[in-house]
Structure 1
Amino acid sequence: MTLTDAPRTTTQAKTLAAITFTVLAWASAFIGIRWVGQHYTAGPLAFGRLAVGTLALGAALAATRRWVTPTRREWALIVLCGIAWFGIYNLALNEAERRVDAGTAAMLVNLGPILIALFAGILLNEGFPRWLLIGAGVAFTGVVLIGIPSARNSHADALGVVLLIVAAITYAIGVLAQKPTLRRLPALQVTWLACAIGTITCLPWAPAFTHQLTDAPAGATAGLVYLGLVPTALAFGTWGYALARTDAGRLGITTYVVPPLAVLGGWIALDETPAGLALVGGAVCLLGVGLSRKR
C-alpha cells in the first residue's frame, strides 16, 4: 500500500462503517414505529421524532462551528429533501404501518432504491452499471420473498398501499435532491436543515403531539426519543456522510439489507416468528446487495 492509498482506504472504511450503522438503525426504526405507533398516531409521531432529531443535529452542528451558505439552487434542493423525505415520507409510512402488514410494506417501500438507481443514472449522470442493476433486481426479488407470507394473509386497505407508494417515491426524491448538495455543503449541515424543514412540515400535528405526550406511557415516549436520536439524527447523519462519498444508486441498493434485519429484529424483540420463505428472502437480499457492490 502506498502513502496515497492509505487515506483512500481509511475513507472507504469510514464510509462502510457509516453505511453499516445506517442500515442497522433504520431496520430498528421499523420495530420502533410498530411499538410507539400503539400510543402515538402518525402525525404526532412524525413531529415528535423529527423535533428530537432536529435538536440533536442542531447541537452537533453548533459544536462543529462549520457553516457554508447554500446557494439558491442548494436551498431549493434542501427544502425539497426536507419536505419529501423527512416530512411526507414519515407521515405516509407511519400511517401506512397502521393499515398494512409488514410484508406488504417492505415490498412497496423498497421500490425506492430501484427508483433511486434509475433516476440517479439519468439525473446525476451515474450511468447504469451492469452489476448495480443485477444486484438491484436480485435484492428486490428477496424483498418480494419476504413479503409473500404476510401478503397471503394481508388485510391491507387501498389507502395503506397508496401511502406506501408515496413513501417510496418521496424517499427516492429526497435522496436524489440531497446528493447534489453534498458536493459543496457539509453533510451534517444538509441533514440538520432537511430535518428542521421536515419538522416544520409536521407542525400542524404539534398540538396533538402535546396531548398524546401526556397520555402515552414512559416506554412509548422513550421509544419516540430513540427514533429521533438514533434512526433520525445519527443514522441520517451517517447516511449523509456516506452519500457524499458514494454514488446515490449504489448506496440506495444497500438499504435492501433493512427488510431482513427488520424481520430478524421483530423475531427477537416482538416475538414475531418469520416464515421460512422470509428467511430465504433475507438471504437473497444480502446476495443482491453484495452483487451491486461489484464493479
Structure 2
Amino acid sequence: MRLLSLTALVMIAFAANSVLNRMAVHGAGWGPAATGFVRLGSGALVLVILALRARGWSGLRVKPAHLVMGVATLALYMYGFSIASGRIDAGIGALTLFGMVQITMFAGAVVQREPISRWRWIGAGLAFAGLVVLLAPGTPTRIDPTGFALMALAGIGWGLYSLAGAKARDPLVVSALNFAVTTPLALLWLVLAQDWGQGASWGWGPALASGAITSGLGYALWYRVLPQIPAAQAAIAQLSVPLLAALGGALLLGEIPAGRFWWACLLVLGGIAISLHKNRAGAR
C-alpha cells in the first residue's frame, strides 16, 4: 500500500508538470527556453541539496557513460516538453508524452525480456481504452502537429531516461548530477533563443514550482520508487498522468472536460488497479 501511495504521489507531480509548464509558456507567455532553464536550474538545486544531505560531496559520483546517457535523454525531454507546452493543451500534451513513454518503456521491458503477466496486459488494455474515450471528441479536435511531434519526442526522451534510472545504483545522485550538468545546456539554449524577459512576471511561480517541487522532489521520489517496480508496471502507472493533467487543466486553465471524462476516469484507474494487483495466477 505504501508503494502504491508513493507511486500515486509521483503521478500527481508529473501531471502538475504539464499544467505548470502550460501556465508558464501559454498562460504567462514565457519563452520555452526561459521556462526550461528555470525549471532545470531550480530542480538541480533541490536535487543536489538532497543528494549532499544523503551522501555528502564524496558520494556525488557516477560513471561517465551513465551521465552522458542521462544528460542526453533529459535534454531531449526538456527541449521537446518546453516548446510543446505552449502549443497543445495540458491534457492532450500529457497523453502524447506518456503515451510515448508507455511505448518506450514497454519496448524496454520486451528487450530486457521482463515477464509481463496477463493481468498487466488486461490492465493496460483497459487504461488505453479509457484514454481513447477521454480523447474521442464529439467534433474534430485540431492539434498542432509541431507541438504533437515535439511532445512525442519528449516522451521518448523521458522513457529512455526512466529506463536508465531504473538501473542506477544511487538514483538520487544520478538525478542530481543529470540536472546539474544539463542546466548549462539549457542556459546555452536560452542564450541562442534569446527569449528571456518575455511574458508576465507571475510566470516565475509555475516555472519555479515545476522545477523545485514537481520536478526536483518528484523525480527524487520517482527514482526511489522505480527500482521497486517492473518497467512494464511503471509504464502502466503513468497512464494516469494524462487523466490527472486533464483534471488540473480544468481546474486551473479553464479546460472543462466533457461528461465522458468520468467514464475515462473509471477505465483508466480501474485498469491501473488491475495491473498493480498482486495475483499469483497472473504471474504465471
TM-score interval, smaller chain: 0.7 to 0.9
Kindly report which structure 2 residues correspond to 1:256-271, keeping only aligned pairs within 5 A, or say none.
256-271=239-254
> Residue 233 of structure 2: which of 239, 247, 250 is its match?
250
Partner of 2:124: 136
Kindly report which structure 2 residues correspond to 1:12-27, keeping only aligned pairs within 5 A, or say none.
13=2, 15-27=3-15
CA distance in 2, matches of 1:25, 1:140: 21
1:176 pairs with 2:163: yes
> Residue 70 of structure 1: which of 62, 77, 94 is its match?
62
> Residue 47 of structure 2: which of 57, 81, 95 is its match?
57
Partner of 1:194: 178
Q: Secondary structure at the match of 2:214?
A: helix
> Residue 258 of structure 2: which of 267, 275, 281 is its match?
275
Q: 1:209 to 1:50 in 2, by over 3 A?
A: farther
TM-score if structure 1 supplies the norm length? Answer: 0.83
CA distance in 1, matches of 2:217, 2:274: 27
Compute the displacement of 1:92 (Å).
Answer: 0.7
1:80 pairs with 2:69: yes
CA distance in 2, matches of 1:151, 1:287: 27
> What amino acid maps onto 1:173 in structure 2?
L
CA contact 1:47–1:209 (8 Å) conserved in 2? no
CA distance in 1, matches of 2:262, 2:70: 33
CA distance in 1, matches of 2:91, 2:215: 23
CA contact 1:82–1:196 (8 Å) conserved in 2? no
CA distance in 1, matches of 2:50, 2:139: 42
Structure 2 residue runs of 5 or longer lacking an equivalent are 280-284
1:288 pairs with 2:271: yes
Kindly report which structure 2 residues correspond to 1:5-16, keeping only aligned pairs within 5 A, or say none.
13=2, 15-16=3-4
Compute the displacement of 1:103 (Å).
Answer: 4.9
CA contact 1:113–1:252 (8 Å) conserved in 2? yes
Kindly report which structure 2 residues correspond to 1:116-265, keeping only aligned pairs within 5 A, or say none.
116-123=105-112, 125-149=113-137, 152-154=140-142, 156-181=143-168, 185-207=169-191, 212-213=196-197, 216-265=199-248
1:105 pairs with 2:99: no
> What amino acid maps onto 1:139 in structure 2?
A
> What amino acid maps onto 1:134 in structure 2?
I
CA contact 1:89–1:171 (8 Å) conserved in 2? yes
TM-superposition CA deviations, 1:49-80 (whole Å, max 9, x none): 01110011111111223416434xxx323421
> What amino acid maps onto 1:160 in structure 2?
G
Count of residue pairs the alignment pairs up:
273
Identity in percent: 25
CA distance in 1, matches of 2:173, 2:116: 30
CA distance in 2, matches of 1:113, 1:91: 19
* Runs of 4+ residues over 3 Å off in structure 1: 68-71, 101-104, 206-211, 215-218
Q: 1:190 to 1:148 in 2, by over 3 A?
A: same
